[in-house]
C-alpha cells in the first residue's frame, strides 16, 4: 500500500478535547499539539503525565454539566470524544454522561461562539440485530437496542447534528462513527481479547464467517482532523451529517482474532456456540445481573452475542468524498506496529 501523507494542518488554534485521557482523545491531543494548537483537555482523574505534554487539563465529569459547558469558552473547535462506554450498566449513568454531557457541550459551543464541534459517535447507533454488510449512512438509527451505550449515543448524535448551523453563532457540527478502534497503546479491544483468550473464555459465536470493520487509531485521528477542515468547505460540506469511519478492509472477525492470538503465543479459538444459544444465555445472564444486582458486566449479553456473530462492516465512500478520508495505516501495517 503506498504511503499516504497525514492530513494538512489548520493554523494553530485553541481546541478542547474531551476524554483526553482515553485512547483516541490522547492520540488526537498529541497530534493537535504537534500542529501548534493550544490544547485543553477534559478528564476526571489527575493525569500529571498528560499535563507535562503541555496540555491544560480541566478535571470534570461529563455529568457535571455547568463545568462542561464552561470548558467551551474561548475555543475555536471542540472535539467531543469522551463517553461512558460499556455493554452493561445503569441507564441513568449512561444518560447523564452521554446525553446530558453532550448537550452541555452543545450548549457551551453555542453560548461561547465556538466555530466547530466534531463529535465521536459509534456505528452501534444503527444496530438492528441483523448483519450489516457494506451499507452506508442511509441506515436508520436502531430502535430498542438492548444496550444502554448505543441507545444513549443515538440521542446524543441526534442532538449534535441538529445543532448544526443553528443560531446564535451558527455552530458547525459533524459526527464520526469509527468502528472497533485498535492500535498501539490500545487499553481496550486488544487487551480484552487477549485476557479472555488466556482465561479460556473465548468462544466463536455463530458460524465464524462474519466480517467486521476495524479502524486503526491513527486513521481515527486523521478522520477527526479532516472533519474539522472539511467543515469550512463550500462543496461536499459534512456539516450536520454522520460518517462511518473504518480501515475500509473488512476482515473475518475470528480469523483476525486467531491471528492476534497466534502472534501472542496463545492457542487459537476453536470452540463454538450457536447464535441462538448465545442470545438465550445473554438474556438469562442479563436477568440474573438485574435481579441479583451483581457487579461488573455479564460475560454475555444479547447485544454482544449479535456483535460477535453478525457482519458489521460499512461503506466509507461518503467519508472519502466529503472528508477526504483515506486510511493511512492498513490492517497489515497496524498488526506489524502492534507487534513491534
Contact 182, 334 (CB under 8 A): yes
Active-site annotation holds for 325 = no
Contact 312, 131 (CB under 8 A): yes
Average pLDDT over residues 142-160: 97
Average pLDDT over residues 168-180: 95
CA-closest candidate to residue 253, choices 201, 312, 323, 320: 312
Of residues 5 and 170, the one with the higher pLDDT is: 170
Q: Is the pLDDT of residue 280 over 60?
A: yes
> Which three cell numbers mark 43?
478528564
Question: What letter would DSSP give residue 95?
Answer: I
Name residues whose C-beta falls within 8 Å of residue 13's C-beta, 6 or more positions apart in sequence: 37, 38, 76, 77
Name residues whose C-beta falls within 8 Å of residue 62's C-beta, 6 or more positions apart in sequence: 18, 42, 68, 82, 83, 84, 96, 97, 98, 100, 101, 102, 104
> Which three cell numbers mark 214?
476495524
Contact 284, 182 (CB under 8 A): no
Q: Give the chain's end-to-end CA distance (angstroms, integer).
A: 19
- List pLDDT tens digits, range 176-226: 999 999 999 999 999 999 999 999 999 999 999 999 999 999 999 999 999
CA-closest candidate to residue 205, choices 271, 257, 263, 275: 275
Domains and CATH numbers, the chain: 14-185+216-248+313-329 (3.40.50.720)
Q: Is the pLDDT of residue 35 over 70?
A: yes
- The number of residues in the chain equals 340
> Which three cell numbers mark 264?
501472542
- List pLDDT tens digits, range 295-324: 999 999 999 999 999 999 999 999 999 999
Q: Is the pLDDT of residue 3 over 80?
A: no
Predicted TM-score (pTM) of the model is: 0.96
Beta pairing class for 211-212 and 251-252: antiparallel
| Marked catalytic residue, from 59, 119, 141, 149 | 149
Contact 39, 32 (CB under 8 A): yes
CA-closest candidate to residue 337, choices 206, 190, 183, 225: 183
Residue 21 has a pLDDT of: 97
- CA angle at residue 320 from 162 to 128, to 5 degrees? 55
- List pLDDT tens digits, range 232-256: 998 999 999 999 999 999 999 999 9
CA-closest candidate to residue 63, choices 90, 94, 85, 106: 94
- List pLDDT tens digits, range 42-101: 999 999 999 999 999 999 999 999 999 999 999 999 999 999 999 999 999 999 999 999
Amino acid at each position: 500500500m503506498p504511503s499516504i501523507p497525514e492530513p494538512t494542518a489548520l493554523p494553530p488554534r485553541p481546541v478542547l478535547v474531551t476524554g483526553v485521557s482515553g485512547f483516541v482523545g490522547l492520540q488526537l491531543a498529541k497530534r493537535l499539539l504537534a500542529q501548534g494548537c493550544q490544547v485543553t483537555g477534559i478528564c476526571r482523574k489527575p493525569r500529571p503525565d498528560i499535563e507535562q505534554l503541555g496540555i491544560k487539563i480541566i478535571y470534570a465529569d461529563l455529568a457535571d454539566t455547568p463545568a462542561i459547558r464552561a470548558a467551551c469558552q474561548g475555543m475555536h473547535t471542540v472535539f467531543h470524544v469522551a463517553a461512558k462506554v460499556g455493554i452493561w450498566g445503569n441507564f441513568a449513568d449512561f444518560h447523564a454522561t452521554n446525553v446530558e454531557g453532550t448537550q452541555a457541550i452543545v450548549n457551551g459551543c453555542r453560548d461561547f461562539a465556538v466555530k466547530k464541534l466534531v463529535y465521536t459517535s459509534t456505528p452501534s447507533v444503527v444496530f438492528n440485530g441483523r448483519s450489516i454488510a457494506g451499507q452506508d449512512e442511509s441506515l436508520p438509527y436502531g430502535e430498542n437496542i438492548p444496550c444502554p451505550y448505543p441507545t444513549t449515543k443515538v440521542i446524543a448524535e441526534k442532538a449534535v447534528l441538529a445543532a448544526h448551523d443553528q443560531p446564535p453563532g451558527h455552530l458547525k457540527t459533524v459526527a464520526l462513527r469509527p468502528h472497533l478502534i485498535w492500535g498501539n497503546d490500545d487499553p481496550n479491544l486488544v487487551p480484552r481479547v487477549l485476557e479472555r483468550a488466556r482465561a479460556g473464555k473465548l468462544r466463536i459465536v455463530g458460524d465464524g464467517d462474519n466480517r467486521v470493520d476495524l479502524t486503526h487509531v491513527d486513521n481515527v485521528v486523521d478522520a477527526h482532523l479532516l472533519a474539522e477542515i472539511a467543515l469550512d468547505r463550500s462543496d461536499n460540506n459534512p456539516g450536520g451529517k454522520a460518517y462511518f469511519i473504518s480501515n475500509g478492509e473488512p476482515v473475518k472477525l475470528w480469523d483476525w482474532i486467531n491471528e492476534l492470538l497466534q502472534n501472542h503465543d496463545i492457542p487459537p479459538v476453536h470452540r463454538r456456540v450457536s447464535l441462538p444459544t448465545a442470545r438465550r444465555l445473554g438474556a438469562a445472564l442479563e436477568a440474573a445481573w438485574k435481579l441479583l444486582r451483581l457487579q461488573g458486566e455479564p460475560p454475555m449479553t444479547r447485544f454482544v452475542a449479535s456483535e460477535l456473530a453478525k457482519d458489521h462492516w460499512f461503506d466509507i465512500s461518503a467519508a472519502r468524498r466529503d472528508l477526504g478520508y483515506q486510511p493511512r495505516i492498513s490492517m497489515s501495517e497496524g498488526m506489524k506496529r502492534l507487534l513491534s
